[in-house]
Chains A and B, each alone.
Chain A
Amino acid sequence: MTTILARSSAGAPFIDVRGVTKTFPSKSEDVTPLADLNLAIEQGDFVALMGPSGSGKTTLLHLLAGIDSPTKGSVMVGSTEVSALSPRALARWRNANVGFVFQQYNLVPVLTAWENVELPLLLLKLSREERRLKVGVALEAVGLSDRAAHLPRQLSGGQQQRTARARAIVAGPPLLLADEPTGNLDSKAADGVLALLKALHQRFGQTLVMVTHDPRAAAVAARVVNLDKGRILGDERVLASAEAGGGA
């Protein structure tokens, strides 16, 4: 699989979050999950965002993916100021640059595993043969080639997670975002997913940002950023990440 990385300008981090504040207006009291947050992430890094519920992890992930926009500040990914794009441009940008793994996988129930993985490619100008090759590689990478014709309801939780992961990497986006990748899995399946996540990161070299509560998940990352009440409490680089084993 070819991964085309969107380059940031020389010396600048691949992801540059500057002075970002996000406020959700409310009738009683406005909620501000992120307050004047600054964060820089280098290309190819594997970052775990940790913190208690309501600390702003998922909001930050959504801002990085262009799913939401900051109330104040800017989000740069590569050479693109994501926070300044129109909804239409954002959709195109996400398609080419972001792979997103949702906590609940969010597979389309009426499409098979193969068709779910093919979905991002349908939005690109690719021939049927190009799509076939890419989907084949992605499913092979997550070890799910033999379940390609199954609908999501016919797959186990771990298999659905892997399908979602294959969908996230199939278009070769330079940025991979995962929201609680082990949140809905039992311990054994979670170990398998973490091992796969690490293997995929090593194989394709994408920048990977993962939101997690799970310390074991954070242990496979190269860097752990701790958030609380919308601010960064800790930011540490893990020198030797723990080995995760098992299969889903």
Chain B
Amino acid sequence: MSTFLRLLTYVRRTILRARTRSFLTLLGTALAMALFAFVHTLEAGVRQLSESADQPVLVVFEISRFCPLTSDIPVRYAAEIEKLPGVKHVLPTLLFINACRTNLDLVTLHGVPPEALAGSHDLKFLEGDYATFTRDSDVALIGSRLAERRGLKPGDRLRLSEINLDVRVGGIVEGAGAGMDNVAFVHLDLLQKSRKKQGTVTELFVFLEPGADGNALARTIDERYRSDQVQTDTKTLQAFVQGAVGEVGEVVGFGRILGYLAVFVVVLILSNTVYISAQTRVTELGTMETLGASRGLLASLLTTESVLLSLAGALLGVGAVMLWLHFAPVTLGIEGFGIDLTPEPRLVGIALVVAVGMGMAAALGPVIELWRRPLALAVKPS
């Protein structure tokens, strides 16, 4: 081991020997690992959203809506559903989304009756308080992630010209529910006026008593309104989120294939670089063997060269993605739910492990070549 460490200077100088080749390899590796990191982050965001939807909550929409904005449910349904056995609380919510389908900078407004918001979505105040929200009708509570993306703090104003809405930030909240960190809560009356939707809401969040059968209740609700003013489509929150996420599922699946392909491409790039490097040093490696270096030691030096290039590329690529998503946060919006593209800290660990694996795999060919070449041929004068 100590011999190996003493020869690290040689490895470092060998990498720097062909600077352009090493730089291009590093760049290729970094780009591929950036793609890998982005896909991993997207997958993690989808997983996190799905997991956070695992709650005893039903979502009631109008049947056959094109997108959340086209659902109109009479507000009276909320009081009627609240009386059903197993229902703890119903939160009528009028939605406004800055883009109906899929987008990368989602802003979702939830217009809710201020007194009904308390106890819903397990909201936790990071800044401001609930009293301010209930007292003033032009106040909004902003989800922490949205506040971070838009750089909002209490006292700031949030303006949405599309619906001529101008509200003051009264607090920053964190919600346990799916995507609630990406939501801004405003007074229902205010949003109804802005959207000209008096008397109706977009959806109903139905919070269930512990042990209540969500699927049975969903069927009961839909049955009850089958021949009413508006027919309903009720799902558990989890089923609803899964359905929404399913829209991007194929994209994520394709992205995953791209991520694996990127890793494979990195292995090829690295392998090519290490192979060329070893080929141009046949005599040099033979000389080192003549001086007493074992083939195992030479193989470990070649592998280290490959792993170091791979690690450097991975750190560069993953680091770039992490910095990008840190300084320019992205939330992918799907049907009003936000998929946060927040790189997990463990991504660095995963990338490093993948990089070491890639480096070792890339060195395999050159090492086998080294092992098979007779020493006498390696040191033969050209």
- Mark A residues whose CB is within 8 Å of B: 59, 62, 65, 67-68, 87-88, 91-92, 94-96, 98, 100, 102-104, 106, 108-111, 115, 119-120, 122-125, 167, 179-180
Q: Given A62-B376, A106-B287, A110-B16, 17 other A-B contacts at CB below 8 A?
A: A62-B379, A87-B294, A87-B295, A100-B291, A102-B290, A102-B379, A102-B381, A108-B10, A108-B284, A108-B287, A109-B17, A110-B10, A110-B14, A111-B10, A111-B13, A122-B7, A124-B292
List of 4 A-B pairs having minimum Cβ-Cβ separation, nearest first:
A95-B292, A110-B13, A68-B376, A106-B287
Question: B-side binding surface: helix, strand, loop or mixed?
Answer: helix
Beyond A104-B381, A109-B17, is A119–B290 a contact (Cβ under 8 Å)? Answer: no
B281 to chain A, nearest CB (A): 9
Query: Which B residue sits closest to A95, measured CB to CB?
Result: B292
B50 to chain A, nearest CB (A): 52
- Asked if A94 and B2 sit within 8 Å, CB to CB, the answer is no
Any A CB within 8 A of the CB of B20: no
A205 to B6, CA, bound (A): 30
Query: Which B residue sits closest to A99, measured CB to CB?
Result: B291
A112 to B327, CA, bound (A): 45
Any A CB within 8 A of the CB of B374: yes
Q: Which residues of B contact A91 (CB under 8 A)?
A: 289, 292-295
B340 to chain A, nearest CB (A): 47
- Of A59, A62, A120, the residue contacting B292 (CB under 8 A) is A120
A219 to B80, CA, bound (A): 115
- Asked if A102 and B376 sit within 8 Å, CB to CB, the answer is no
Q: Which residues of A contact B9 (CB under 8 A)?
A: 111, 115
- Asked if B291 and A123 sit within 8 Å, CB to CB, the answer is yes
Query: Which A residue sits closest to B11, measured CB to CB?
Result: A110
A122 to B2, CA, bound (A): 9
A-B contact pairs, 16 of them (CB 8 A): A67-B290, A67-B379, A68-B376, A87-B294, A87-B295, A88-B294, A88-B296, A91-B293, A100-B290, A102-B287, A102-B379, A109-B17, A109-B284, A110-B13, A111-B13, A123-B291
- Asked if B290 and A108 sit within 8 Å, CB to CB, the answer is no
A133 to chain B, nearest CB (A): 16
Q: Which residues of B contact A92 (CB under 8 A)?
A: 292, 294
- Asked if B295 and A119 sit within 8 Å, CB to CB, the answer is no
Interface size on B, residues (CB 8 A): 30
Beyond A68-B376, A115-B9, A125-B2, is A120–B381 a contact (Cβ under 8 Å)? Answer: no
A92 to B10, CA, bound (A): 20
B290 to chain A, nearest CB (A): 5
Q: How many A-B residue pairs have CB under 8 A?
A: 78
Any A CB within 8 A of the CB of B288: yes
A98 to B289, CA, bound (A): 12
A32 to B291, CA, bound (A): 27
Q: Which residues of A contact B296 (CB under 8 A)?
A: 88
Most chain A beta-carbon contacts within 10 A, residue among B16, B288, B376? B376
A98 to B283, CA, bound (A): 18
- Mark B residues whose CB is within 8 Å of A: 2-3, 6-7, 9-10, 13-14, 16-17, 283-284, 286-297, 374-376, 379, 381-382
Q: Which residues of B contact A119 (CB under 8 A)?
A: 288, 291
Beyond A109-B17, A110-B10, A110-B14, is A94–B295 a contact (Cβ under 8 Å)? Answer: no
A95 to B297, CA, bound (A): 13
A203 to B285, CA, bound (A): 31
A113 to chain B, nearest CB (A): 14
A66 to B49, CA, bound (A): 65
Q: Which residues of A contact B286 (CB under 8 A)?
A: 106
Query: Which B residue sits closest to A115, measured CB to CB?
Result: B9
Q: Which residues of A contact B292 (CB under 8 A)?
A: 91-92, 94-96, 120, 123-124
Query: Which B residue sits closest to A118, measured CB to CB?
Result: B6
Q: Which residues of A contact B375 (CB under 8 A)?
A: 67-68
A3 to B59, CA, bound (A): 88
- Of B6, B7, B10, B290, the residue contacting A65 (CB under 8 A) is B290
- Of A103, A115, A167, the residue contacting B291 (CB under 8 A) is A167
- Asked if B3 and A123 sit within 8 Å, CB to CB, the answer is yes
- Asked if A123 and B293 sit within 8 Å, CB to CB, the answer is yes
Query: Which A residue sits closest to B294, measured CB to CB?
Result: A91
Most chain A beta-carbon contacts within 10 A, residue among B283, B296, B374, B381? B381
A102 to B283, CA, bound (A): 11
Query: Which A residue sits closest to B371, measured CB to CB?
Result: A87
A33 to B297, CA, bound (A): 31
Q: Which residues of A contact B293 (CB under 8 A)?
A: 91, 95, 123
A167 to B287, CA, bound (A): 11
Most chain A beta-carbon contacts within 10 A, residue among B2, B3, B291, B294? B291
Q: Which residues of B contact A108 (CB under 8 A)?
A: 10, 284, 287-288
Query: Which A residue sits closest to B4, measured CB to CB?
Result: A122
Q: Which residues of B contact A65 (CB under 8 A)?
A: 290
